[in-house]
């Protein structure tokens, strides 16, 4: 039976209107019903995927978005949604690929540069991430996502004065924005204003707008603050709260796996890496008097944050703060 094109177009308009008004339950239900009737469209797949993500069904959402990009490779919304889903699944390299594909044809999409920057942060390439977020700000001055991300990058590099400036700009745009509050609290801690940092973090933990990940990170940083104040039992409790929250948030990654499976998967992935995976640092010292060899930093095999901050974390952050090309 031939489809009624006018009716299908009207359905698309209705789904889009519901989604734009953030009524994803109704939009997703109509999208699911329409897909089941045999009408496949990237918008319907995207909207249904959004509802599935809200329900925590990320793998199901991923399959729908992959299908959307397969049938419509040039659809901006579908490819962007796929990149975001991969990022939420902690697959930043794949997310970066799709953002780069998007930017090949649409180099002036500010939100795409934000998403690229976030994927690069996930990969640990903070210098490149900073450039992406600065480009996003050029295209969309006042971008909250880019401003907060720049604060976070500066925090990870130990550049707390810069982090404070970006964080304060972000908080003017959106008071209480979690990422900015975390960067500002870290700057207060670095500057010795421990009580100010403690107040900021308690406020964030109690803020209903903060998500589980935001509160987990706030609890971990609160542990650092309390440790600096010499309130060790409270610091222990804060670290425990952080670890338990992170365990709950990331439990889906451990489902049905074992440490042996994880080790084998990591070994296989490393074996497949080529030279292109490791970009050369052109600014590195290549003189004969330079590096003498490699240094491998290993974390503790137990929850180190239950007692003190992991020494490997401190060293990693110190190195990152001195790097301009990582």
Domains of the chain, each with CATH number or no CATH = 142-249 (1.25.40.10)
The Cα 155–Cα 310 span in angstroms is 17
CB atoms within 10 A of CB 269: 9
Task: State the chain's mean pLDDT as an integer.
Answer: 85
The mean per-residue pLDDT over the stretch 211-226 comes to 94
Report the percentage of the chain scoring pLDDT > 70.
83
Residues 223-256 have pLDDT tens digits of 999 999 999 999 999 999 999 998 888 776 666 6
Question: What pLDDT is stored for residue 193 in this prediction?
Answer: 96
Question: What pLDDT is stored for residue 299 in this prediction?
Answer: 58
Question: What pLDDT is stored for residue 269 in this prediction?
Answer: 73
Question: What pLDDT is stored for residue 304 in this prediction?
Answer: 35
Alpha-carbon distances, residue 158 vs 186, 197, 198, 286, 320 (angstroms): 9, 16, 19, 26, 8
Residues 124-157 have pLDDT tens digits of 899 999 999 999 999 999 999 999 999 999 999 9
The Cα 81–Cα 47 span in angstroms is 10
The Cα 219–Cα 225 span in angstroms is 10
Question: What pLDDT is stored for residue 263 in this prediction?
Answer: 79
CB atoms within 10 A of CB 93: 11
Question: What pLDDT is stored for residue 285 in this prediction?
Answer: 54
pTM (2 d.p.): 0.77
Residues 13-67 have pLDDT tens digits of 999 999 888 888 899 899 999 999 989 999 999 999 999 998 888 899 999 999 9
Question: What pLDDT is stored for residue 308 in this prediction?
Answer: 40
Nearest to 58, CA basis, from 21, 90, 22? 90
The Cα 9–Cα 57 span in angstroms is 28
183 and 163 Cβ atoms separated by less than 8 Å: yes
Banded pLDDT at 272 (limits 50, 70, 90):
confident
The Cα 294–Cα 267 span in angstroms is 19
Residues 104-117 have pLDDT tens digits of 999 999 999 999 99
């Amino acid at each position: 039976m031939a489809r009624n094109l006018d009716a299908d177009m009207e359905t698309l308009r209705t789904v889009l209107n519901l989604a734009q008004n953030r009524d994803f339950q109704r939009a997703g239900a109509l999208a699911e019903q329409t897909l089941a009737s045999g009408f496949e469209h990237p918008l319907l797949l995207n909207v249904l995927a959004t509802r599935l993500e809200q329900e925590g069904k990320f793998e199901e959402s991923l399959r729908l978005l992959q299908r959307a990009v397969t049938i419509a490779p040039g659809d901006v919304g579908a490819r962007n949604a796929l990149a975001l889903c991969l990022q939420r699944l902690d697959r930043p390299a794949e997310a970066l690929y799709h953002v780069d594909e998007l930017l090949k044809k649409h180099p002036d999409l500010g939100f795409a540069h934000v998403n690229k920057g976030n994927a690069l942060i996930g990969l640990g390439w903070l210098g490149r991430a900073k450039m992406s977020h600065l480009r996003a700000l050029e295209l969309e001055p006042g971008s909250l996502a880019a401003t907060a991300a720049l604060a976070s990058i500066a925090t990870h590099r130990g550049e707390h004065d810069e982090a404070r400036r970006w964080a304060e700009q972000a908080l003017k745009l959106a008071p209480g924005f979690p990422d900015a509050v975390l960067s500002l609290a870290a700057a207060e801690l670095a500057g010795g204003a421990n009580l100010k940092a403690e107040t900021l973090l308690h406020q964030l933990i109690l803020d209903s707008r903060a998500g589980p990940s935001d509160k987990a990170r706030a609890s971990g940083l609160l542990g650092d603050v309390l440790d600096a104040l010499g309130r060790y039992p409270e610091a222990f409790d804060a670290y425990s709260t952080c670890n338990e929250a992170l365990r709950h948030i990331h439990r889906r990654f451990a489902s049905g796996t074992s440490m042996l499976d994880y080790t084998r998967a990591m070994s296989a992935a490393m074996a497949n890496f080529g030279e292109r995976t490791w970009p050369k640092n052109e600014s590195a010292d290549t003189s004969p008097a330079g590096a003498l060899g490699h240094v491998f930093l290993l974390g503790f095999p137990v929850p180190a944050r239950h007692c003190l901050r992991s020494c490997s974390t401190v060293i990693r952050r110190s190195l990152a703060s001195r790097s301009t090309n990582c």
